[in-house]
Chain A
Amino acid sequence: MTFLVKRLMVLAVTLFVVSFVVFLIPYLTPGDPARKILRARVGDLDADPEALAGLRETYGLDRPLLVQYGDWLGGALRGDLGLSYTSRTPVVDMLGGALTVTAVLAISTLLLALLVAVPLGSLAAVRRGTPVDTAITTVTQAFVAVPEYWLAPVLVLVFSLQLGVLPSAGWEGPASMVLPCLTLALRPMSYFTQVTRASMIDVLGSPHITAARARGLGFGATMLRHGVRNALLPVLTLFSLWLAGLLGGSVVVEVIFSIPGMGRLLYESVVNNDVPAIQAGIVSLVGLAVLITTLTDVVHAWVNPTVRAPHVSG
């Protein structure tokens, strides 16, 4: 229980610090926010002083910093993160759809990675030291070095332009998900395979496997009931870490395949200097990432009580 309370307090403090840093973004950057808004909207470098004053009034830019922060945080908690500088629509409306798209992309990517990695890693562990193991280990380790902005065009070239079987861009229907998921899945697949292998080797060396085999349980049944099940915990921990990472880490793939997700939204708002959209995007992504990792920690502690001990958890 104290573990849970401690984690929740850390979560609250982290979110508070993050929100303050994100709030400060327009003030950390050189230049007058009002001028930036005007430039973003009309592309006019010589701003009209009256228009600037009007903007300061509308967006409350002339009040003390802490007052503005309180206002902004209160708004954020009520789901009001301001109007986009460029489209003048509430940024919260832009977020919902984009978050769903990115979440679907990230989860399907990781499920695909898991689907390949768990059997592959288990096979490598069971055949440890043989050429099969060496082949699996070497190839999956090399996957880490593949840049996704290279894999994506190569896959498009083969499957869209030459074979013509899959769409090269967009986000409509399952067919359009194949190439982005494949591109993104390569690196998590590599890590999942390595962790499954290491964890399976660990589990296979433990006495309960020997005991199960000695009782006459078949090899396959031992692996399924006693091997994979016990080896999966580290893999699932890694899964949730990757989920948190992929939510903000799929920018390049979303841009390449023109997927209307969080990555592309953030990329476009950064390019257009749309501060409220940047703030909203970062706050929601970082908030989600912190929530996911906290949840992982809590579940982990619940499953494995030794984690709860204060001197181990830090």
Chain B
Amino acid sequence: MSLADTPHPAHPVRPGGPVHPGGPAPGAEAAPVAERGTGPRRWPPSLLVGTFLTGAILLVLLLTPWLAPHDPAAQDLAQRLAPPSGSHPLGTDQLGRDVLSRIMDGGRFSVSIAAITLVICAVSGTLIGMVAARRGGALDEFVMRVTDVLLAFPEIIVAMFLVAVLGANYLTLIVALVIGGWTPFARLARSLTLEINARDFIEAARALGCSRRFIVLRHVLPNALSPLLAHAALRFGHKLITVGALSFLGLGVQPPDADWGSMLADGQPYLTQAPGLVVHPGLAIFVTALGVTLIGQGIDTRRKAKEL
């Protein structure tokens, strides 16, 4: 890959100098990686931890029907708001349902919506951004102005409005989150493409008579992939939190189904008696968002280490 010998202009190699009294020389972050001779293949800790966390959570969510200790919808009114015990590791809610099973089951809704919208946003945004950058001219200008307008609309308000109008269901939520969600990807893909387009190897490929499509697929896309993936992973937490916020406001998942946001909202009246009803679903969102965010930061760190 040609990235190794062409330093990224945004992260130039800084000459060392006596500018860090009390701290190691600049570039200390990347230095140990290079010294060990394993080069960029070594995974930074954030990537390792993030992958492990995310993998574990995904596994649990996939295996929920077999792993869950109880039926998430089974009520036991004699056991209302029970503290954690052997048969209910996280206690029970206001209707005597097992909190652990409900968290495991509720995660499937939040995480799948966040993941699906993210994939749609990333693919469509990348496509639009790359085409805009390659074609340039009026099309480029038009795309950029559209993203300007869309970025001005607060995401949660657009989603709130659409849900109120079209009704809360799986499809509405996805549409609501995609409407503005593709724009950051389009902007990133556009600027990356412009940057890559200016490189010598693109000129060389063009001189060799490669088709436009070949250049985009074999040169532009592979070079833009890692920053785009990192951005996607960093956006995931944001999406997950937004889905939870809509459910929290009663505009996401509808009863009898539940997700982390709606469980958090349902637990609010029992904050003093059973704080776990609020704390645990929130922790689930936090840990999941953190896991995927760490992957994004790891990819970023690894890319910068590669470029130095």
Contact = CB atoms under 8 A, between A and B. Distances in A.
A252 interface: yes
Interface stretch (A67-75, A83-91, A265-273): A265-273
A14 B152 CA distance: 9
B272 interface: yes
A149 B287 CA distance: 15
A251 B160 contact: yes
Contacts of B166: 29
B154 A14 contact: no
| Secondary structure call for the A interface | helix
B165 interface: yes
B208 interface: no
A151 to B, nearest CB: 8
B23 A129 contact: yes
Interface in A124-160: 126-130, 133, 141-142, 144-151, 153-154, 156-157
A290 B150 CA distance: 10
Given A266-B157, A271-B164, A210 B152 contact: no
B249 A156 contact: no
Residue of A28, A127, A270 most packed against chain B (CB within 10 A): A270
A314 B18 contact: no
A127 B249 contact: no
Contact of B293 (A141, A153, A285): A141
A282 interface: yes
A176 interface: no
A10 B148 contact: yes
Contact of B290 (A18, A126, A145, A154): A145
A149 B160 contact: no
B68 to A, nearest CB: 22
Contact of B14 (A13, A127, A157, A205): A205
A149 B248 contact: yes
Interface in B125-141: 140-141
A276 B80 CA distance: 44
Contacts of A271: 164
Contacts of A29: 165-166
Interface in A241-292: 244-245, 247-249, 251-252, 255, 266-267, 270-271, 273, 278, 281-282, 285-286, 289-290
B115 to A, nearest CB: 16
Contacts of A245: 154
B145 A213 contact: no
Contact of B17 (A14, A141, A210): A210
B164 A270 contact: yes
Contacts of B290: 142, 145
A44 B29 CA distance: 67
Interface string B161-205: 100111000000000000000000000000000000000000000
Nearest to A150: B282
Contacts of B287: 145
A286 B145 CA distance: 15
A311 B138 CA distance: 14
Contacts of A133: 23
Contacts of B148: 10, 14, 290
B195 to A, nearest CB: 12
Interface centre among B21, B161, B261 (most CB of A within 10 A): B161
A202 to B, nearest CB: 8
Contact of B275 (A17, A157, A281): A157
Nearest to A227: B19
B249 A144 contact: no
B156 A251 contact: yes
B154 A249 contact: yes
Which of B155, B241, B279: most chain A CB closer than 10 A?
B241
Contacts of A289: 152, 154
B286 A145 contact: yes
A185 interface: no
A133 B149 CA distance: 38
Contact of A128 (B15, B20, B144, B281): B20
Nearest to A141: B297
A80 B153 CA distance: 22
B289 interface: yes
- Chain A to chain B: the 9 pairs with minimum beta-carbon distance, closest first: A150-B282, A248-B154, A145-B289, A129-B28, A145-B290, A205-B14, A29-B165, A270-B164, A129-B24
Interface of A: 10, 13-14, 17-18, 25, 28-30, 126-130, 133, 141-142, 144-151, 153-154, 156-157, 161, 201, 204-205, 209-210, 213, 219, 244-245, 247-249, 251-252, 255, 266-267, 270-271, 273, 278, 281-282, 285-286, 289-290, 293, 314
Given A150-B285, A153-B282, A213-B18, 6 more contacts: A14-B145, A130-B23, A149-B264, A153-B278, A273-B164, A293-B152
Interface of B: 14-15, 17-24, 26, 28-29, 140-141, 144-145, 148-149, 152-157, 160-161, 164-166, 237-238, 241, 244-245, 248-249, 261, 264-265, 268, 271-272, 275, 278-279, 281-283, 285-287, 289-290, 293, 297
22 contacts: A18-B152, A29-B165, A30-B165, A128-B24, A130-B23, A130-B24, A141-B293, A144-B289, A145-B241, A145-B286, A150-B285, A153-B271, A153-B278, A205-B26, A219-B21, A248-B157, A249-B154, A251-B156, A266-B160, A270-B161, A282-B161, A314-B140
